[in-house]
């Protein structure tokens, strides 16, 4: 669990940390120090002017003053870059209410501070990706020890703010090893600034190829440090500054495809969105309501870590797209334990998480929160939500705007790569669309378009059952556990859902309705209604999941691989990507997964840790198949 910073003040009113026996900013004025040392020290705003994208990496977020001042300078610059990405590490972040008290000292930053506070995440470990200022400013917070989080960052930065408590107070944040890691994330021509001119820091930076310069410091600090990296680095990866927006075909207009369309359009791309149905959100994304909550694990494994980051990102996305909560409701939700072993697992998982993220509640409290007697204790997700997926898809497309051209009733039968472009072909071989990039966001149908690759996507039949809303009168929150129940403000409540693999039948089944009712009674033992399963209305749709239940996100591999190949060095199919395999967690997972893929295509720093990006790599199953075949 992340330990929050304590809000403390020196006698003169300067914020301090008693843990490190140091101040958060100069006693002569934090905002002026930021502008002198970090903004001017990195030759901003001049360096970001005329650019598409500019990225800043900071050590020590503290109270966020460096970020807010930089955001203000960017806003005030008419020649600013189109997108600003600010990445910052923090071992002990402040709680939201403490940030509000701190930020009140700078009323000129009030509007931006309010946006930051509204998006501020629960204090959980890992990467938190925040979109601010209408999506033009991105803040990626790395909560945890910088020595652990920074090596997991994928991408490069144009400017560095070396901040944090003094080296003698917090030596781990200024160690040669950490400065080496930072330097590995430097883009060609990157700059650096710091109030610290300690000899050991200068030596470590010089050894990493920085050209250093001392300059007049701020207030009582006589000197400060600036530095620059070489303009060109041989054999380096492409950088966001060198990647121009281009065009792409997205196949599939469900939550995955619409999320990606919005993420790429926000970066200036032109998108052709092809959907075989007559409108968006007609398959699994056409369900009238779905749950948004994370999965938990006692060992906080890769799936739980990805689920946490994705769930929190989706909540912030919903707030941005629909601040009035017209098509979603974030009143919290309960996940009830299915048995004693499940209760032990959930209780243990919650013990390492902040209560505003996930809190274990006993049966009596769970019943109070639900408004009806429930069968067991469980996890209370204070920000859990239910969402109307079709409305979310339409909101995503509306946010994407004119950069997305939708074409419905288009079934893609085959793909072809020709003259640097991907072609989507219909059954007669006619070209439906042409673009430099093509992304499969069409669930298990991707298997048919790429039969030569091992994608392992399996269709899973899911049947919902609809009950009169009055049948669940008194239920105050969404429930899940053995099954789930949602009152979504319409005349019909929703319960579900069946889970049948490798079954493509689209007909409603009384047996699955009966099973959904059985699961509901496991959640609500007092449920007294006895509807006839043979006459219940409902809906059948098909989820797609991979063998390890994690999605496929990224660029697809070449068909012919070698046994000794590794994920990091695999040859890839230029311009061919996938975003699929979300199972029953598309609402929670797809938006962040789309942001990861869009950042990959734009050569930006990724919003997820490197181990999680590898865990989602779509080449993982194909590589395993190649190795198995080679060892026969």
The answer on 105 and 85 residing in a single domain is yes
Query: Average pLDDT for residues 87-107, to the nearest whole number?
Result: 95
Residues of the chain above pLDDT 70, percent: 97
Residues present in the chain in total: 632
Model pLDDT, residue 614: 96
Picking from 517, 545, 573, the residue at the C-terminal end of a domain is 545
Instruction: Place 630 in a pLDDT band, splitting at 50, 70 and 90.
Output: low
Residues 6+ apart with CB under 8 A from 440: 251, 252, 446, 449, 450, 577, 578, 579, 580
The answer on 586 and 470 residing in a single domain is no
- Report the 10 Å Cβ neighbour count for 527: 19
Is 413 exposed, middle or buried (CB count within 10 Å of its CB: 0-12, 13-18, 19+)? middle
The answer on 397 and 360 residing in a single domain is no
Question: What are the phi and psi torsion angles at 587 (to 5°)?
Answer: -60, -40
Element (DSSP H or E) covering residue 128: strand 126-132
Please write the tens of the pLDDT for every residue from 169-215: 899 999 999 999 999 999 999 999 999 999 999 999 999 999 999 99
Query: Average pLDDT for residues 426-442, to the nearest whole number?
Result: 97
Model pLDDT, residue 238: 62
The answer on 276 and 205 residing in a single domain is no
In a domain, 58, yes or no: yes
Please write the tens of the pLDDT for every residue from 139-163: 999 999 999 999 999 999 999 999 9
For residue 112, give the nearest of 97, 132, 85 by alpha carbon: 132
| Number of domains, the chain | 3
The answer on 205 and 93 residing in a single domain is yes
Query: Average pLDDT for residues 235-254, to the nearest whole number?
Result: 78
CATH number at residue 121: 3.40.50.150
Picking from 545, 573, 604, the residue at the C-terminal end of a domain is 545
CATH number at residue 247: 3.50.50.60
For residue 527, give the nearest of 301, 352, 297, 372 by alpha carbon: 372
Which of 211-225, 236-250, 539-553 is least confident? 236-250
Q: What is the largest CA-CA distance in the chain?
A: 82
Model pLDDT, residue 21: 72
User: Strand 478-480 vs strand 333-336: parallel, antiparallel, or unpaired?
Assistant: parallel
Task: Supply the DSSP symbol for 275.
Answer: E
Query: Average pLDDT for residues 549-565, to the nearest whole number?
Result: 88
In a domain, 324, yes or no: no
Residues of the chain above pLDDT 90, percent: 85
In a domain, 29, yes or no: yes
User: Do residues 294 and 613 make contact, with C-beta atoms less than 8 angstroms apart?
Assistant: no
For residue 376, give the nearest of 335, 417, 435, 413 by alpha carbon: 335
Query: Average pLDDT for residues 74-87, to the nearest whole number?
Result: 97
**pTM for this entry:** 0.95
Which of 284-293, 531-540, 558-567, 592-601 is least confident? 558-567
Question: Distance between terminal CA atoms of the chain?
Answer: 45
Residues 6+ apart with CB under 8 A from 588: 292, 293, 294, 307, 310, 311, 314
Q: Using only C-alpha atoms, what is the Rg of the chain?
A: 26
CA pair distance 227, 206, nearest whole angstrom: 9
The answer on 489 and 352 residing in a single domain is yes
Which of 7-11, 263-267, 528-532 is least confident? 7-11
CA pair distance 85, 326, nearest whole angstrom: 30
Model pLDDT, residue 220: 79
CATH number at residue 379: 3.30.9.10
User: Is residue 587 helix, strand or coil?
Assistant: helix
Task: Supply the DSSP symbol for 582.
Answer: B
The answer on 536 and 485 residing in a single domain is yes
**pLDDT surpassing 60 at residue 233:** no
Element (DSSP H or E) covering residue 31: helix 30-34
Q: Which domain holds residue 409?
A: 243-283+390-457+547-630
User: Do residues 434 and 423 make contact, with C-beta atoms less than 8 angstroms apart?
Assistant: yes
User: Is residue 4 helix, strand or coil?
Assistant: coil
In a domain, 531, yes or no: yes
Query: Average pLDDT for residues 121-146, to the nearest whole number?
Result: 97
Strand order in the sheet with 572-580: 404-408, 270-275, 247-251, 437-440, 572-580, 552-557
**pLDDT surpassing 80 at residue 406:** yes
In a domain, 237, yes or no: no
Q: Which residue has the higher pLDDT, 218 or 494?
A: 494
User: Strand 333-336 vs strand 378-381: parallel, antiparallel, or unpaired?
Assistant: antiparallel
CA pair distance 622, 454, nearest whole angstrom: 5
Q: How far is CA 169 from CA 21, 76, 166, 223, in A?
A: 7, 35, 5, 19
The answer on 447 and 348 residing in a single domain is no
In a domain, 279, yes or no: yes
Question: How does 39-60 read in b/e, with b if 16+ C-beta sit within 10 Å?
Answer: bbbbebbebbeebbbbbbbbbb
Model pLDDT, residue 464: 98
The answer on 175 and 165 residing in a single domain is yes
The answer on 90 and 190 residing in a single domain is yes
CA pair distance 253, 397, nearest whole angstrom: 9
Q: ∠566-570-572 over CA atoms, to 5°? A: 155
Question: What are the phi and psi torsion angles at 367 (to 5°)?
Answer: -65, -40
Picking from 518, 545, 572, the residue at the C-terminal end of a domain is 545
Question: What are the phi and psi torsion angles at 614 (to 5°)?
Answer: -65, -40
The answer on 468 and 449 residing in a single domain is no
- Report the 10 Å Cβ neighbour count for 10: 11
**pLDDT surpassing 90 at residue 164:** no
**pLDDT surpassing 50 at residue 304:** yes
**pLDDT surpassing 90 at residue 300:** yes
In a domain, 598, yes or no: yes
In a domain, 296, yes or no: no
Instruction: Place 242 in a pLDDT band, splitting at 50, 70 and 90.
Output: low
Model pLDDT, residue 234: 45
The answer on 559 and 531 residing in a single domain is no
Query: Average pLDDT for residues 471-477, to the nearest whole number?
Result: 95
Element (DSSP H or E) covering residue 215: strand 211-216
Please write the tens of the pLDDT for every residue from 519-553: 999 999 999 899 999 999 999 999 999 999 999 99
Q: How far is CA 300 from CA 296, 305, 586, in A?
A: 7, 6, 20
Element (DSSP H or E) covering residue 17: strand 15-17
Instruction: Place 240 in a pLDDT band, splitting at 50, 70 and 90.
Output: low
Q: What rounded mean pLDDT belongs to the chain?
A: 94
State the angle between helix axes of 302-321 and 389-400 in degrees (0 to 180), rounded to the nearest 10.
70
Q: How far is CA 329 from CA 38, 198, 491, 565, in A?
A: 41, 52, 16, 46
User: Do residues 39 and 70 make contact, with C-beta atoms less than 8 angstroms apart?
Assistant: yes
């Amino acid at each position: 669990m992340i330990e929050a910073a304590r809000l403390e003040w020196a006698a003169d009113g300067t914020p301090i940390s008693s843990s490190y026996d140091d101040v958060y900013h100069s006693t002569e004025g934090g905002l002026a120090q930021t502008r002198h040392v970090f903004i001017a020290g990195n030759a901003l705003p001049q360096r970001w002017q005329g650019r598409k994208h500019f990225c800043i990496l900071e050590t020590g977020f503290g109270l966020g003053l460096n970020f807010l001042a930089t955001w203000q300078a960017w806003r005030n610059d008419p020649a600013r870059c189109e997108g600003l990405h600010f990445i910052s590490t923090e071992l002990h972040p402040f709680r939201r209410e403490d940030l509000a008290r701190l930020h009140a000292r700078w009323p000129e930053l009030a509007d931006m501070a309010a946006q930051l506070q509204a998006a501020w995440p629960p204090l959980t470990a890992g990467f938190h990706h925040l979109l601010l200022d209408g999506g033009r400013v991105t803040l990626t917070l790395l909560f945890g020890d910088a020595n652990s989080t920074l090596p997991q960052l994928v991408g490069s930065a144009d400017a560095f703010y070396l901040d944090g408590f003094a080296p003698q107070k917090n030596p781990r944040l200024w160690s040669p090893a950490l400065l080496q890691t930072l330097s590995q994330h430097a883009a060609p021509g990157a700059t650096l600034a710091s109030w610290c001119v300690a000899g050991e820091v200068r030596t470590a930076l010089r050894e990493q190829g920085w050209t250093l310069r001392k300059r007049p410091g701020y207030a009582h600090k006589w000197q400060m440090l600036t530095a620059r990296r070489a303009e060109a680095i041989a054999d380096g990866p492409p950088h966001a500054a060198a990647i121009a927006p281009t065009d792409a075909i997205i196949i599939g207009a469900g939550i995955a495809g619409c999320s990606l369309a919005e993420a790429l359009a926000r970066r200036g791309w032109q998108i052709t969105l092809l959907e075989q149905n007559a409108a968006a959100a007609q398959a699994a994304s056409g369900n009238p309501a779905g749950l948004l909550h994370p999965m938990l694990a006692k060992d906080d494994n890769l799936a739980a870590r990805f689920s946490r980051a994705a769930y929190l990102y989706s909540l912030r996305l919903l707030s941005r797209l629909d601040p009035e909560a017209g098509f979603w409701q974030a009143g919290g939700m309960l996940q009830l334990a299915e048995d004693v072993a499940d209760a032990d697992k959930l209780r243990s998982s919650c013990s390492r998480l902040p209560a505003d993220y996930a809190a274990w509640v006993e049966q009596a409290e769970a019943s109070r929160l639900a408004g009806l007697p429930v069968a067991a204790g469980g996890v209370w997700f204070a920000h859990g939500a239910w969402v109307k997926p079709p409305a979310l898809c339409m909101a995503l497309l509306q946010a994407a705007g004119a950069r997305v051209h939708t074409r419905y009733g288009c079934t893609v039968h085959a793909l072809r790569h020709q003259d640097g472009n991907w072609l989507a072909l219909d059954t007669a071989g006619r070209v439906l669309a042409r673009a430099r990039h093509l992304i499969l966001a069409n669930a298990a149908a991707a298997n048919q378009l790429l039969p030569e690759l091992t994608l392992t996507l399996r269709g899973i039949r899911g049947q919902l059952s609809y009950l009169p809303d009055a049948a669940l009168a008194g239920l105050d929150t969404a429930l899940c556990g053995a099954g789930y129940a949602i009152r979504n403000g319409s005349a019909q409540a929703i319960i579900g859902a069946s889970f049948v693999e490798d079954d493509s039948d689209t007909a409603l089944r009384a047996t699955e309705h009966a099973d959904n009712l059985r699961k509901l009674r496991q959640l609500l033992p007092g449920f007294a209604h006895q509807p006839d399963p043979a006459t219940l209305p409902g809906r059948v749709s098909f989820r797609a999941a991979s063998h390890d239940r994690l999605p496929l996100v990224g660029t697809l591999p070449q068909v012919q691989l070698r046994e000794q190949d590794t994920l990091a060095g695999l040859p890839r199919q230029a311009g061919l990507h996938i975003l699929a395999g979300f199972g029953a967690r598309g609402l929670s997972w797809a938006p962040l997964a789309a942001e990861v893929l869009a950042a990959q295509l734009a050569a930006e720093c990724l919003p997820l840790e490197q181990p999680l990006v590898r865990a989602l790599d779509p080449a993982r199953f194909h590589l395993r198949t190649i190795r198995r075949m080679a060892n026969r």
